[in-house]
Amino acid sequence: MFICPITRGNCDCTVIPLDCNVIPLSVVGFGRGGQNQTGKSRLGPGVESRWGLRHAIRHQADVVPQHARVSRDEAATLSFMLLDHPIITERLFFPRKQAIAEPFRVRSDDAELACYRFSSRSGGKASHTFIHFHGNGEVVADYIPDYVEAIAALGRTPRRPTPGQTEPSTDARPALSIDVVLAEYRGYGGSTGTPGLVRMLDDVDPIVAAIGRPVEELWVYGRSLGSIYAIELAHRHPGIGGLVIESGIADMLERLLIRVEPTELGVTRDELARQVAIHLDHQRKLSSYTGPLLVIHARDDDLIDPSHATRNHEWAASNDKQLVLFESGGHNALLPVNWTQYLDTLERFLSARQ
């Protein structure tokens, strides 16, 4: 028998699989302040890690005295830890290092995010800032300069040519004035830190703060994995000027179960589902979003089924929402295959809401 660090007495915890190697130290008797007497952080390996998440979850049961139970905040921390488990991080994220010149550096807790900022108007202020959260396996460098310049040029005449064409469009468009910020993730591009599914949710606020303009002047765009963080930003700042979800995710549990078996994390499927519901319930988040919404997806996307787009669109409480399904382009070629239509769709959406 071990002395249980939660009940402070003997128990049969040792029969529970202790296969999660990261756990909040507050759950193992280090107090609620985030550090123990030696100044170690709440996240740490070693003797503390013998106590798995199943142990902590189990001790919410009635066998634990009321004063010893994990608080609501600590329960949220437990789910934070589960969803940022090294197994999930390794299988879900595909970071790539690629530095860019003159990054727009954003400090978020223990990481520095190497974002990119493009100002479309010299000596003046654009009416809006377009914040772009890229997909998995991508970095902001992939969108410099072509994509950034195309977004900044929306509403101007003549239109940039479609890739592969030599002559630009001469169609007149409503004038737009857009600055562009490409958000970078922890561990991606030139950023420091390590990716974490839930940890990265808290990175959206420092990005908004660093941009330094009213939220109603922000247009937020999330592609694929980036839809998680775009939706989170819209949930935290529902007054944004507009939200665009491209090839986005509706059901994060569905995506996780493709990559991870819950038993590998030392939890059941129901336990994993409960933790996903705390942090990554897009139905709940979008049901409180009433601002403008544009959902873009390809019908032939075989990585993230277009039903995700339908669900995200249906869940949003907004009365000002559009669902655009392109016939082809799949998951990773939606833009090059539909470049002209894509820019037209985005331009019409933004210009009507500036």
Do the Cβ atoms of 155 and 173 come closer than 8 Å?
A: yes
On whether the pTM is more than 0.75, the answer is yes
Does 6 reside within a domain? no
Residue 267 lies in a domain: no
In a domain, 200, yes or no: yes
pLDDT tens sequence across 21-32: 333 333 322 222
State residue 164's pLDDT score. 53
pLDDT of residue 303: 97
Average pLDDT over the chain reads 80
Residues 325 and 213 in one domain: yes
- Assign residue 219 the CATH number of its domain: 3.40.50.1820
Alpha-carbon separation of residue 67 from 34, 240, 313, 341 (angstroms): 19, 41, 44, 60
89 and 265 Cβ atoms separated by less than 8 Å: no
HSE, CB side, 13 Å, CA atoms: give it for residue 17. Answer: 10
Q: Which helix (H) or strand (E) holds 29?
A: none
CA of 163: how far to CAs of 23, 194, 265, 343, in Å?
49, 35, 45, 12
Angle formed by the axes of helices 72-83 and 269-279, nearest 10° = 110
Residues 77 and 163 in one domain: no
pLDDT tens column, 196-237: 999 999 999 999 999 999 999 999 999 999 999 999 999 999
Please, what is the Cα angle at 197 between 202 and 220, to 5 degrees? 55
pLDDT at 81 over 60: yes
Q: Which of 33-42, 129-138, 181-190, 292-301 has the lowest mean pLDDT?
A: 33-42
Q: Is it true that the peptide bond before 145 is cis, omega within 30 degrees of 0?
A: yes
Lowest mean pLDDT among 36-45, 50-59, 314-323: 36-45
The pLDDT value given to residue 41: 31
Final residue of a structural domain among 83, 112, 145: 83
The number of domains in the chain is: 2
The residue from 48, 83, 118 where one domain ends is: 83
Specify whether 192 is located in the same domain as 219: yes
On whether residue 89 sits in a domain, the answer given is no
SS3 content of the chain, % helix, strand, coil (to 5): 35, 15, 50
> What is the arithmetic mean of pLDDT over 267-276?
95
Does 344 score more than 80 pLDDT?
yes
Same domain assignment for residues 173 and 286: yes
**Distance (Å, rounded) from C-alpha 151 to C-alpha 166?**
19
Closest CA to 80 of 185, 196, 198, 186: 198
Instruction: For residues 33-37, give the mean pLDDT.
Output: 32
State the Cα–Cα distance between residues 6 and 143, nearest whole angstrom.
Answer: 49
- Indicate whether 149 and 212 sit together in one domain: yes
43, 158: one domain: no
Residues 231 and 295 in one domain: yes
Do both 215 and 117 map to the same domain? yes
pLDDT confidence of residue 47: 26
Q: At what angle do helices 226-236 and 204-211 cross, to 10 degrees?
A: 70
Average pLDDT of the segment spanning 332-339: 97
In a domain, 180, yes or no: yes
Percentage of residues in the chain having pLDDT higher than 90:
67
* 44: confidence class by pLDDT, cuts 50, 70, 90: very low
Is the Cβ–Cβ distance between 219 and 350 less than 8 Å?
Answer: yes
| Pair 120, 77 in one domain | no
pLDDT at 173: 54
What pLDDT sits at residue 354?
80
For residue 93, pLDDT beyond 80: yes
Question: Is 272 among the domain residues?
Answer: no
Rounded mean pLDDT, 79-96: 91
| Whether residues 250 and 317 fall in one domain | yes
Q: Decide which of 46, 61, 83 is a domain's last residue.
A: 83
Q: State whether 59 and 203 are in the same domain.
A: no
What sign does the CA torsion over 231, 233, 234, 235 have? positive
Question: Residue 37 to residues 56, 153, 166: CA-CA distances in angstroms?
Answer: 22, 55, 67
Q: Is residue 5 part of a domain?
A: no
Domain span holding position 37: 13-83
Same domain, 23 and 158: no
